[in-house]
Amino acid sequence: MLSKNKSNKINVAIIGLGYWGPNLLRNFIQIENFNVMYGCDLVQENLKKFSSIYPLVNFTGDFNKIIKDEDIDLVAIATPLSTHYSLAKLALTSEKHVFLEKPMTENSIQASKLVKISKKVNKILMVGYTFVYSEPIKKIKDLLKQKELGRIYYYDSTRINLGLIQSDVNVIWDLASHDLSIINFLFDNLPVSVQAFGSKFINKRNEEIGHLIINFDNNFTANINVSWLSPVKIRSILIGGSKKMIIFDDVSPNEKIRIYNKTVELNPSHITPFNPAYRSGDIIIPFLDQNESLRNELLHLANCIEKKIQPLTSGDEGVKILKLLEASNLSLRSKKIIKLKN
Sign of the Cα torsion 57, 63, 64, 66 reads positive
Q: Please tell me what DSSP assigns to residue 217.
A: G
Q: Looking at the structure, do residues 108 and 17 belong to the same domain, yes or no? A: yes
Given pLDDT bands bounded at 50, 70 and 90, which one contains residue 266?
low
Q: Helix (H, G, I), strand (E, B), or coil: what is residue 62? A: coil
Q: Please tell me what DSSP assigns to residue 6.
A: T
Q: What is the pLDDT of residue 279?
A: 58
Q: What is the pLDDT of residue 270?
A: 58
Q: What is the pLDDT of residue 59?
A: 97
273-316 pLDDT, tens digit each: 556 656 566 899 999 999 999 999 999 999 999 999 999 999 99
Domain housing 89: 10-123
Q: How far is CA 182 from CA 89, 186, 234, in A?
A: 26, 6, 17
Residue 50 has pLDDT above 60, yes or no: yes
Q: Please tell me what DSSP assigns to residue 248.
A: E
Burial of 277 (0-12, 13-18, 19+ CB in 10 A): exposed
**Phi, psi torsion values for 246, nearest 5 degrees:** -125, 140
Q: Looking at the structure, do residues 143 and 235 belong to the same domain, yes or no? A: yes
Q: Looking at the structure, do residues 177 and 73 belong to the same domain, yes or no? A: no
Q: Which of 56-65, 158-167, 303-312, 320-329 has the lowest mean pLDDT?
A: 158-167
Q: Looking at the structure, do residues 37 and 88 belong to the same domain, yes or no? A: yes
Given pLDDT bands bounded at 50, 70 and 90, which one contains residue 4?
very low
Q: Helix (H, G, I), strand (E, B), or coil: what is residue 334? A: helix
Q: What is the pLDDT of residue 268?
A: 60
Separation of first and last alpha carbons in the chain = 35
Residue 177 has pLDDT above 90, yes or no: yes
- Whole-number percent of the chain with pLDDT over 70: 93
Residue 11 has pLDDT above 60, yes or no: yes
What value, to the nearest 5°, has the Cα angle with vertex 130 and ends 63 and 183? 130
201-225 pLDDT, tens digit each: 998 889 999 999 999 999 999 999 9
Report the chain's mean pLDDT, rounded to a whole number: 93
Residue 14 has pLDDT above 70, yes or no: yes
Report d(CA 99, CA 78) in Å as an integer.
Answer: 9
Boundary (domain end) residue, out of 82, 102, 123: 123
Q: Looking at the structure, do residues 92 and 200 belong to the same domain, yes or no? A: no
Whether residue 164 is preceded by a cis peptide bond, meaning omega within 30 degrees of 0, is yes
Report d(CA 139, CA 285) in Å as an integer.
Answer: 11
Q: What is the pLDDT of residue 66?
A: 97
Q: What is the pLDDT of residue 203?
A: 80
Q: Which of 29-33, 83-87, 212-216, 252-256 has the lowest mean pLDDT?
A: 252-256
Q: Looking at the structure, do residues 181 and 137 belong to the same domain, yes or no? A: yes
Q: What is the pTM of this model?
A: 0.92
Range picked from 2-16, 89-103, 282-296 for highest mean pLDDT:
89-103
Boundary (domain end) residue, out of 123, 154, 185: 123
Given pLDDT bands bounded at 50, 70 and 90, which one contains residue 64?
very high
Given pLDDT bands bounded at 50, 70 and 90, which one contains residue 165?
confident
8 A C-beta contact, residue 147 and residue 325: no
Q: Looking at the structure, do residues 272 and 151 belong to the same domain, yes or no? A: yes
Boundary (domain end) residue, out of 92, 123, 154: 123
Q: Looking at the structure, do residues 43 and 150 belong to the same domain, yes or no? A: no
Whether residue 103 is preceded by a cis peptide bond, meaning omega within 30 degrees of 0, is yes
Is 225 part of any domain?
yes
Burial of 195 (0-12, 13-18, 19+ CB in 10 A): middle
Residue 1 has pLDDT above 90, yes or no: no
Is 317 part of any domain?
no
Q: How far is CA 280 from CA 165, 246, 265, 335, in A?
A: 41, 13, 11, 40
Q: Looking at the structure, do residues 289 and 182 belong to the same domain, yes or no? A: yes
Average pLDDT over residues 30-59: 96
Is 301 part of any domain?
no
One DSSP character per residue, 81-150 reads: HHHHHHHHHHHHHTT-EEEEESS-SSSHHHHHHHHHHHHHHT--EEEE-GGGGSHHHHHHHHHHHTTTT-
Question: Number of folded domains in the chain?
Answer: 2
